[in-house]
């Protein structure tokens, strides 16, 4: 039983109904998965994306005429049902990493819940779906607050995710959150992140703790996380191996987390295999830690937005 409980949660048997009510031939199509929750395929002239209703996790994005943008260590249907998947774009809410209560699952409860379909839209230039997740008896066992989440995923000339969180209860709660995209690269050691010059940062694997200031582009060569305090609303992951730039624009986050496990830590995740860690870099618009998390009072809402676009290598490095 997932966090959302069985009652009302779409399962594979609902695909026919979902296609009749929300689908559009060759544009928005629901299909079954082994997780007993459907996958929706969004498609148009600009590309395709797949979103799993379990976890509201975007599991693929491929712009037309370009290689896949997101890393998945293996096919979605090859993963055991009901477990976290290290790939695509997980949604981290209402806590990021291990910032929940002792004993709670990493990255919150949203990624372990089956989301509802709220609506779909399409036109000549866009295909999109809106998914929803509301508090229930099952979610309150893990986190004792009332909330409503809506995630809109749209494919146009770019991939855009918008997460809206609303406090529907009578008491405030504290949130850390993030999108956790795994971007596919040819080789981690041929990548760098632009847009962090002048940002203050901390890192998980530094022998000395504390805040420092980064200078220039960040060449990703070691495992661990760097947590950059956001001063701009955009960044670029340069994949020099595939000769492409993955451009991100974001809003609603306080930090940009750049992570790769490195060879030394990748073994903790069996699905990465021997060299899988070389094939991705995570660049995550997030709000992490008690120092930058936010409080939602009853009736208040907050939005986290990320747009992703893959372009040929021609970005100026400044």
Mean pLDDT value across residues 155-173: 98
Say what the pLDDT of residue 193 is.
98
| pLDDT at position 318 over 60 | no
Judged by average pLDDT, the poorest of 1-15, 227-241, 299-313 is 1-15
Q: How many CB atoms lie within 10 A of CB 64?
A: 11
Residue 123's Cα: distance from chain center in Å?
25
> In the chain, what are the domains?
12-312 (2.70.98.10)
Across residues 154-171, what is the average pLDDT? Answer: 98
Structure tokens at 31: 């299909």
pLDDT in tens, 212-249: 999 999 999 999 999 999 999 999 999 999 999 999 99
How, if at all, do strands 39-44 and 191-194 pair? unpaired
* Mean pLDDT of the residues in the chain: 92
Kindly state the greatest CA–CA separation across the chain.
Answer: 57
Q: In this structure, what token pair is assigned to residue 131?
A: 């998914």
What's the predicted TM-score (pTM) here? 0.93
Report the C-alpha gap between 178 and 257 in whole angstroms.
9
Res 3 pLDDT > 80: no
Confidence band, pLDDT 50/70/90 cuts, at residue 267: low
Separation between Cα atoms, residue 113 and residue 56, nearest integer Å = 8
Contact criterion met (CB below 8 Å) for 128 and 152: yes
């Amino acid at each position: 039983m997932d966090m959302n409980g069985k009652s009302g949660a779409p399962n594979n048997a609902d695909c026919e109904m979902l296609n009749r009510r929300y689908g559009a031939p060759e544009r928005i199509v629901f299909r079954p998965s082994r997780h007993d929750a459907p996958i929706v395929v969004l498609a148009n002239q600009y590309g395709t994306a797949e979103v799993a209703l379990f976890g509201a996790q975007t599991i693929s994005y491929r712009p037309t005429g370009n290689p896949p943008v997101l890393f998945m260590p293996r096919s979605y249907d090859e993963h055991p049902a009901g477990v976290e998947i290290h790939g695509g774009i997980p949604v981290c809410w209402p806590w990021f990493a291990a910032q929940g209560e002792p004993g709670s699952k990493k990255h919150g409860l949203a990624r372990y819940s089956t989301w509802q379909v709220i609506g779909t839209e399409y036109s000549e230039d866009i295909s999109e779906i809106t998914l929803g997740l509301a508090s229930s008896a099952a979610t309150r066992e893990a986190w004792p607050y009332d909330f409503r989440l809506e995630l809109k995923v749209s494919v146009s000339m770019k991939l855009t995710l918008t997460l809206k969180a609303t406090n529907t209860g009578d008491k405030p709660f504290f949130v850390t959150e993030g999108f956790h995209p795994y971007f596919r690269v040819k080789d981690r050691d041929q990548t760098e992140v632009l847009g962090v010059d002048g940002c203050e940062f901390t890192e998980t694997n530094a022998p000395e703790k504390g805040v420092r200031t980064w200078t220039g582009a960040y060449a990703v060569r070691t495992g661990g996380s760097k947590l950059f305090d956001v001063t701009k609303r955009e960044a670029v992951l340069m994949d020099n191996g595939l000769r492409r730039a993955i451009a991100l624009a974001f809003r609603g986050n306080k930090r940009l987390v750049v992570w790769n496990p490195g060879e030394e830590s990748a073994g903790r995740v069996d699905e990465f295999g021997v060299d899988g860690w070389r094939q991705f870099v995570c660049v995550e618009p997030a709000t992490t830690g008690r120092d930058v998390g936010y409080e939602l009072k009853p009736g208040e809402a907050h939005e986290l937005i990320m747009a992703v676009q893959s372009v040929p290598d021609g970005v100026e490095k400044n």
